[in-house]
Structure 1
Amino acid sequence: MRKLFTCMYVLYLFSGQSIALEYEIDSEIEIQPKTLIQLSKNPTWIKLVHYDKNSTNKSNYLSTIHSLDFFNSKNGNNDPYNELISTIKAFQIPIENFTDPNLHALCKFPARAMWLQEYFPIIRKNRNKIICSDYNKWTLNNSTESISLIYVTGYLGNPASFYGHVLLKMNSNKISNRTALEDISINYGALIPDNEDPVSYIIKGVFGGYDAAFSHVDYYYHDHNYGEVELRDIWEYKLNLTKKETEFIVAHEWEILGKKYTYYFLKQNCAYRMGELLELIDGVSAIPDNNMYTFPQSLVKTIASAHHNGRNLVEKVIYHPSRQSRFYQKIQSLSKAEKLILTQIISNTEILHNDVFTQRNLISKQKIIDTMIDYYQYLIKRNEEENNTQLKLKYKSVLTERFKLPVGQPKISTKDKTSPAQGRDPSYASISYLNNRALGNLINLKLRPAYYDQLDSSAGHVKHSSLSMFELNIKFSQNDFYLNSLDLFSVKSINNNATGLPGDSGFAWNLKAGIEQTNSTTTNKLVFKLHGDMGESLRLNKNILLIGYLGGGLQNKKNGYGNSYANVSATTLIDISPKLNLLFDYKYQYFINGQTKNRKIIRFEGRYQLSKEWDARIHYLNDGNFESGVSIGYYW
């Protein structure tokens, strides 16, 4: 065994300051530590204390965390060097000085200690002496064997969830007999006051009006909330990290739990912060390369295409369908005869004892009953705040019949879901050549920073719905150009898979705010408009969806149009093939107090997907004036 001895090692700094560290070293190993100044500039240290470049400080750094207890130095939030010195000193404080060891810096900052012990063995020695019971309990005695990035698809019922959501799940080794639903999950979100209105939320969220923090909870809470209540599909991306790398990320998660950040909806959001955690590991690049915004799906696409340690960063992709998706999968697997019987049973549960049902073969019975069980569970969850007594009684009767059948589930053939990681990029630009009867030939440039429309929804999006922010359209004539429209936001939410069964309606709604020309003949008659509709969708078959709306809008009075109007509209969406989609739209608007009392607007658009990055479209508009054209678009 090599002889160990105790010595004093002193690092001399360029500033003349020194710090003495007492520790045991191996006499046969030559140690050439870096200077403290070099360590304070090390990218890992910068990441551990969450420093961003900031030219207003002498150090040119400022931490994005503004909780004072995250720092060991008085000015640690803007001085990486002093924070490093103070952290090393804090790690040397005798453990005996603390009645509760959990308050020692080694227990509060385990990731910093893990990194610094590679340079200062005294820190490793002290770590081996201390028992951090709170940290050990939280990590289940370091039982995390892998980490998964969880992506939750978009939810148009809440502005905070329009673009989806990401969080991390710590996959334990199950030694303690815990299930995957009991694993620890790490979430990041804005700290929003109760009853905050949507407009305030959007404004404050975009411009940094909220604090935000990491939190932790058993994963089953998110699985239930997203998959069972909000009916959102969940995708799990299990990461290919070493045991040491996994422990390092888990240790840093402990350090930042509850610490306050400033929340920015478009950029420094859940996707950005989860990407930061993953980028603690040398060689991992997770945050999408975009200075304007960070979308959860973009983070997923980045890590899914990344490599680490000579392997794919993502080891395995697991799809967790929502309760609604499971129900739709089952009903789509039924034959026409089975669907008819299911409809009859829903109307009258006595059919369960009729030859119509009892004469079916075992597999058919199981498929019908299992679909009905999911149907009633789906309705009960969807209408949780209402009186569900009758639904629960019907559910109980169907469940009783299922117990009479043999154990086992029939195999259901379903289409493979496309992972959001395989979806297209979120931003879109196009150039159109248009012929306008009143204005002649025009060129239209469109820029849509985010996200999708009714014809180009991709993997991870809500099909046939639309979501866009800051969409800009500029038109060029032979001698001039003008702003045609600028949407602040536009959302169309459609339940396109509605079965038509009682309680499973195709509810649809639409909300839009922005500025636009009053009609297709004007070039300098911009109005601010707020428009909203509510309606129903009806699926005629797997390729055709009809939507009807009633609504209205407010705008500033200009060009003979009043400042308010009622709106009736109908939309038809046709999926001819996976690459070819058509949209027909008809609107009738009645103006309350304008010279122009009413108008009709007919619009047609067809889209053909040339590749994941390119598409081609044809356009037709009739609002009393005719405009038609073709365009080519690019996604990035």
Structure 2
Amino acid sequence: MLKRLIPLLLGSISLGVHAAPTVTDSQLQALATERHWLNLGHYQPGRFSGWRSYVDDDSFFLAADGASNPASELQATLQALYAPVGDDSNQHAQCRYPSRTRWLSEQLQLSGLPTPECSEYREWYEDINPHATVLVFPDAYLNSPSSMFGHTLLRIDSPDTQASGTSLLTYALNFGAMVESMDNSMLYAWKGLAGGYPGQFSLLPYRDKIGEYSRLENRDLWEYQLDLSPEETARMVEHVWELRQVIFDYFFFDENCSYRLLELLEVARPGLRLTEQFPLTAIPADTVRAVREAGMISDVHYRPSRERELLARAEPLTPPELHWVRQLADDDGVLQSSEYQALPAPRRALIQEAAYRLVRYEAAGQQRDSANAARSYQLLQAINRNPPPALQIETPTYPEFGHESRTWQLAAGSREGRAFAEYGLRMAYHDLADNLAGFPLGAQIELGDIKLRQYEGNHWQLEEFGLVNIRSLTPRSALLKPWSWQVEAGWERVAGEDGQRRLVPHLNGGGGFAWQPWDGVLGYSMATMRLEHHRDFDAPLSAAAGFNAGLLWRNPLGNLLLEGRGDYFDNGEVRRSLQLAQQWELGRDLGLRLQASREFSQFSAPQTEFALQLRWYYY
């Protein structure tokens, strides 16, 4: 009998040691509304009452109603921390939730916890060895829908990295959409807007991200050293372990890479209030600005893209020298030609390095080619025998120093003698004539652009509702031959019968070329196609072929845009226009724009319009 009682008594003692502490309801509710606990659960206030978590994965929660009840999740976590250790200690709550474990232990002075080994977590953590945090901003890349606004990720540095400066051996912490390989760009854009993709955190070598952004996508990188302490960085990385394989909804404009990383920074330093600044949209450059305004940036390092390095090395070369660059990139045997060797050695040094950079640029993203590799090797040997001076690249304006992403517009003008006032709002982001600091010349992304007009006599009308208007005007050069393109969709007013102007839905796009004859001057010419529904046309949907050509000049006042357009419809209608816009940059977030246009249509006599518009960039 006594032999049977002893194991029972020992089991009772063991259960007593590992019993969760008694927490009163008031203590539980107080802890559950602590900012750090809400951050760990990614909770936000519900639309009408209560709470909801951004996490869209039931496996993340221990309580059945944990996604909407922080107190219930806290209680379930406490119980799980004291649960006996099973055969696989890595599945214990302390191993799955090290960040929760640490915080609850500190808040409640927990004692008598079981001691699982947590070998998987410890090996993972020791491999990362977190010590410092760097916020990385790859600049905008218009040829990828997911990258039009730029991107943000975090670099986690170890103590050795900080001492040696070997950042390429560190880890990059990234949040991104899980995209199906069969999805094209249009489907990707639509699903990204509608939340059709799940999002996940990933941790991978930083050198891989450098290769993806600065080489494959030709994007400049900005690295912002944050002032997080080693303890704060460790706290954040602990929480990242809790988010492995956890699913979030992904939306381009709010629940995106930048917003998720701001949440992690709030876990690292609970007193931060970063996400509260982005109730509608979280555009990457805006989030970098928020981090700077929070005083968290201690240093900045700029990494130019491979394309920018190539163009900088080619910039001092003459047209004949650029021809030599092209020849060397195609055939390294030219190195030994007597005509090439007759060139002055300093000029050959510049030509050879430009050719080498061109070869590497064109090979980016391609499968390894033995002939290409041999050509690169020969050029590299020539560079070593006759090295050029160090490449100097001027650091552009920091992206967070550009104008804010949302724009309010107030204009006064006249159309064919009728005065009007115009009130506008653009949700995002930048057009060709906007204040340029922090943005590339020739890049335009406009989303959600609405304009209301009030004509004399108190006649109101919707003048324009733009859904999307994107232009990528990349100049061609002797070495690079990129295409320029544009796409636009929305509603706009055009000429109709009886002198009326109709509000028509339309979709148009085009492709062509841009060139830069002088510094600060960009010319472009594109062939276009247009589809629209016009109630004065017989067909429900009418098509037009046309052109779009213009000149963009960066002048002392700001930007001047002169543009001509033409649309030739299948029903015989011909619509043409000339437009001029000059922006005066009154400040980073304030501009004054003079606009003039002359429109021609078979429906009416030519129409002339002038307007003076005040633009306030504000988020």
Band the TM-score falls in, shorter-chain normalisation: 0.7 to 0.9
Which residue type is aligned with residue 398 of structure 1? L
Stretches of structure 2 lacking an aligned partner (at least 5 in a row): 1-16, 601-606
Shift of 1:303: 0.5
Q: Which stretch has the larger CA shift, 345-354 or 204-213?
A: 345-354
The answer to whether the aligner puts 1:146 opposite 2:135 as a matched pair is no
Distance change in 2, residues 1:212/1:452 (3 Å): same
Distance change in 2, residues 1:174/1:257 (3 Å): same
In the other structure, the counterpart of 1:466 is 444
In the other structure, the counterpart of 1:111 is 99
Seq. identity, %: 24
Which residue type is aligned with residue 32 of structure 2? S
The answer to whether the aligner puts 1:626 opposite 2:608 as a matched pair is yes
Is residue 288–residue 302 contact of structure 1 (8 Å, CA) maintained in 2?
no
In structure 2, distance between residues paired with 1:509 and 1:7: 66
Distance change in 2, residues 1:356/1:543 (3 Å): farther
The answer to whether the aligner puts 1:421 opposite 2:400 as a matched pair is yes
Distance change in 2, residues 1:236/1:556 (3 Å): same
Shift of 1:363: 4.7
* Greater helix fraction, Structure 1 or Structure 2: 2
Cα deviation code 1:15-60 (max 9, x no counterpart): 8xxxxxxxxxxxxxxxxxxx22211121111111112212677xx1
Please give the residue correspondences for 1:148-297 in structure 2 after superposition, counting only pairs within 5 Å: 148-174=134-160, 179-280=166-267, 281-287=269-275, 289-297=277-285
Which residue type is aligned with residue 295 of structure 1? I
In the other structure, the counterpart of 2:460 is 481
Cα deviation code 1:506-536 (max 9, x no counterpart): 4100111111111399665111110010101
The answer to whether the aligner puts 1:405 opposite 2:370 as a matched pair is no
Is residue 550–residue 567 contact of structure 1 (8 Å, CA) maintained in 2?
yes
In structure 1, distance between residues paired with 2:425 and 2:47: 32
SS at match of 2:271: coil
In structure 1, distance between residues paired with 2:369 and 2:592: 48
Q: May I ask how many residue pairs the two structures share in their alignment?
A: 590
Distance change in 2, residues 1:49/1:288 (3 Å): closer
In structure 2, distance between residues paired with 1:436 and 1:405: 64
SS at match of 1:113: helix
In the other structure, the counterpart of 1:499 is 477
Which residue type is aligned with residue 146 of structure 2? A
In the other structure, the counterpart of 2:469 is 490
Distance change in 2, residues 1:601/1:394 (3 Å): farther
Shift of 1:634: 0.8
- Please point out which of 476, 483, 491 is paired with 1:515: 491
- Please point out which of 565, 568, 571 is paired with 2:550: 571
Is residue 104–residue 110 contact of structure 2 (8 Å, CA) maintained in 1?
no
Cα deviation code 1:132-177 (max 9, x no counterpart): 2222222235621101111111121222221111111111223799
SS at match of 2:282: coil
In structure 2, distance between residues paired with 1:262 and 1:350: 54
- Please point out which of 317, 326, 332 is paired with 2:300: 317
In structure 2, distance between residues paired with 1:269 and 1:337: 47
In structure 1, distance between residues paired with 2:526 and 2:519: 21
In structure 1, distance between residues paired with 2:23 and 2:374: 78
Which residue type is aligned with residue 603 of structure 1? Q
Cα deviation code 1:402-461 (max 9, x no counterpart): 24336xx62233322211121111111222222212x52222222111000112264553
The answer to whether the aligner puts 1:45 opposite 2:31 as a matched pair is no
In the other structure, the counterpart of 1:448 is 426
The answer to whether the aligner puts 1:132 opposite 2:111 as a matched pair is no
Distance change in 2, residues 1:516/1:142 (3 Å): closer
Is residue 40–residue 81 contact of structure 1 (8 Å, CA) maintained in 2?
yes
CA RMSD, Structure 1 to Structure 2 (Å): 2.9
In the other structure, the counterpart of 1:3 is none
In structure 2, distance between residues paired with 1:7 and 1:540: 77
Shift of 1:611: 0.5
The answer to whether the aligner puts 1:542 opposite 2:519 as a matched pair is yes
Is residue 333–residue 413 contact of structure 1 (8 Å, CA) maintained in 2?
no
In the other structure, the counterpart of 1:29 is none
In the other structure, the counterpart of 1:86 is 76
In structure 1, distance between residues paired with 2:243 and 2:474: 39
Shift of 1:343: 5.4
Which residue type is aligned with residue 441 of structure 1? A
In structure 2, distance between residues paired with 1:459 and 1:268: 27
Shift of 1:288: 6.3
Which residue type is aligned with residue 91 of structure 1? L
SS at match of 2:314: helix
Distance change in 2, residues 1:512/1:140 (3 Å): same
The answer to whether the aligner puts 1:552 opposite 2:529 as a matched pair is yes
Q: Which stretch has the larger CA shift, 421-430 or 136-145?
A: 136-145
Q: Which stretch has the larger CA shift, 221-230 or 350-359?
A: 350-359
Q: Which stretch has the larger CA shift, 187-196 or 249-258?
A: 187-196
Is residue 329–residue 358 contact of structure 2 (8 Å, CA) maintained in 1?
no
Stretches of structure 1 lacking an aligned partner (at least 5 in a row): 1-5, 16-34, 308-312
Shift of 1:7: 12
In structure 1, distance between residues paired with 2:248 and 2:511: 37
Shift of 1:203: 3.6
SS at match of 1:525: strand
In structure 2, distance between residues paired with 1:210 and 1:132: 32
Which residue type is aligned with residue 593 of structure 2? R
In structure 1, distance between residues paired with 2:372 and 2:202: 36
Which residue type is aligned with residue 154 of structure 1? A
In the other structure, the counterpart of 1:613 is 589
The answer to whether the aligner puts 1:62 opposite 2:48 as a matched pair is no
Distance change in 2, residues 1:561/1:430 (3 Å): farther
Which residue type is aligned with residue 367 of structure 1? L
Shift of 1:629: 2.5
Is residue 484–residue 514 contact of structure 2 (8 Å, CA) maintained in 1?
yes
In structure 1, distance between residues paired with 2:182 and 2:333: 45
In structure 1, distance between residues paired with 2:234 and 2:530: 54
Query: What TM-score, normalized to structure 2?
Result: 0.88
Is residue 287–residue 302 contact of structure 1 (8 Å, CA) maintained in 2?
no
Distance change in 2, residues 1:365/1:139 (3 Å): farther
In structure 1, distance between residues paired with 2:217 and 2:41: 35
SS at match of 2:106: coil
In structure 2, distance between residues paired with 1:533 and 1:543: 24
Shift of 1:616: 1.3
SS at match of 1:415: coil
In structure 1, distance between residues paired with 2:396 and 2:364: 24
In structure 1, distance between residues paired with 2:370 and 2:571: 48
- Please point out which of 3, 7, 13 is paired with 2:24: 13
Is residue 21–residue 110 contact of structure 2 (8 Å, CA) maintained in 1?
no
Distance change in 2, residues 1:346/1:493 (3 Å): same
Which residue type is aligned with residue 558 of structure 2? L
Q: Which stretch has the larger CA shift, 132-141 or 215-224?
A: 132-141
Query: What TM-score, normalized to structure 1?
Result: 0.86
SS at match of 2:275: coil
Is residue 288–residue 298 contact of structure 1 (8 Å, CA) maintained in 2?
no
Is residue 571–residue 585 contact of structure 1 (8 Å, CA) maintained in 2?
yes
In structure 2, distance between residues paired with 1:427 and 1:388: 46
SS at match of 2:470: strand
In structure 2, distance between residues paired with 1:389 and 1:141: 35
SS at match of 1:324: helix
In structure 2, distance between residues paired with 1:14 and 1:291: 32
- Please point out which of 409, 413, 417 is paired with 1:434: 413
Is residue 329–residue 359 contact of structure 2 (8 Å, CA) maintained in 1?
no
Cα deviation code 1:339-363 (max 9, x no counterpart): 5654565587555335665456655
Is residue 20–residue 82 contact of structure 2 (8 Å, CA) maintained in 1?
no
Which residue type is aligned with residue 251 of structure 1? E
In the other structure, the counterpart of 2:510 is 533
Cα deviation code 1:153-202 (max 9, x no counterpart): 11212222211111111112237999422322221122333322444433
